[in-house]
Amino acid sequence: MEVKFRMADLEANVHTEGFNFIPKEIKSNMIKVIEHGTEVQITSKDFLKRYNAFGMIKINEEEFNYLENNNVSNLTHFNLQISSHKKKENYLFVKLLKNDMIDISNPHLFECVHCDENVTYSDLNNKEIFDNSFPNIKSIKDLKKVILERYSKKMNYLTSEEILELGISITKLKKVSVEEKL
């Protein structure tokens, strides 16, 4: 897959109709997961349907443990550039394992209450934006570090500076009770 983008868009990072989206990963219908200790293959659609969810947000073990061990009712989650999260839709938070598989044994369900796309770091002048974020993201410096950790490996065709120039999306979510539909 050849990725094409205009450097001017990366450098300007402005809200324009012609802004190019930089793909973070190749999407596949089938996902390999760990479910109750067993490796299985399932379609994303079937998994999401079980929980009446619109999408899935994969988070690292540290972030997942934070959700597990704390009564998190509101969460602000940051993504690179564009998340495509939709207001009033439900999203499952699942644990991303070190081998790039996901553990779907105990997902956490949140509803999107607000989403901003293509936000520059310089637009983050309100410290309250980090109030409901994961404990490792409490400043712009922390956020940049986490974004680079998340995306540098899978977007190795971009420099760290180019990744940061893409900006972020900010999704505000509220906890919803999980009811699996089999």
Q: By the 8 A CB rule, do 115 and 86 touch?
A: yes
Question: What's the mean pLDDT in 64-86?
Answer: 96
Tell me what pLDDT residue 131 has. Answer: 95
pLDDT at 28: 55
pLDDT class of 174 with cuts at 50, 70, 90: very high
Kindly report which listed range (2-11, 43-52, 81-90, 127-136) carries the lowest average pLDDT score: 2-11
Tens of pLDDT, residues 31-46: 777 888 888 888 888 8
What whole-number distance in Å separates Cα of residue 117 and Cα of residue 80? Answer: 9
Percentage of the chain modeled with pLDDT above 70: 82
Residue 99: exposure state from Cβ atoms within 10 A (0-12, 13-18, ≥19): exposed
Residue type, 8: A
Beta strands in the chain (DSSP E): 30-35, 38-43, 55-59, 74-80, 90-96, 102-119, 168-176
> In this predicted model, what pLDDT tens digit does every residue of 115-141 receive, in sequence order?
999 999 999 988 899 999 999 999 999
Name the token pair of 147.
């974004």
pLDDT given at position 8 = 33
Angle at 18 between CA 156 and CA 24, to 5 degrees: 25
What is the residue extent of each domain of the chain?
A: 7-176
Q: Tens digit of pLDDT for each residue in 8-35?
A: 333 344 443 444 444 444 455 777 778 8
Cα separations in angstroms, 77 against 3, 135, 160, 161: 26, 11, 20, 21
Which helix (H) or strand (E) element contains residue 49?
helix 44-50
How many Cα atoms sit within 13 Å of 131 on the Cβ side? Answer: 8
- Phi first, then psi, for residue 10 (nearest 5°) are -65, -45
| CATH class of segment(s) 7-176 | mainly beta
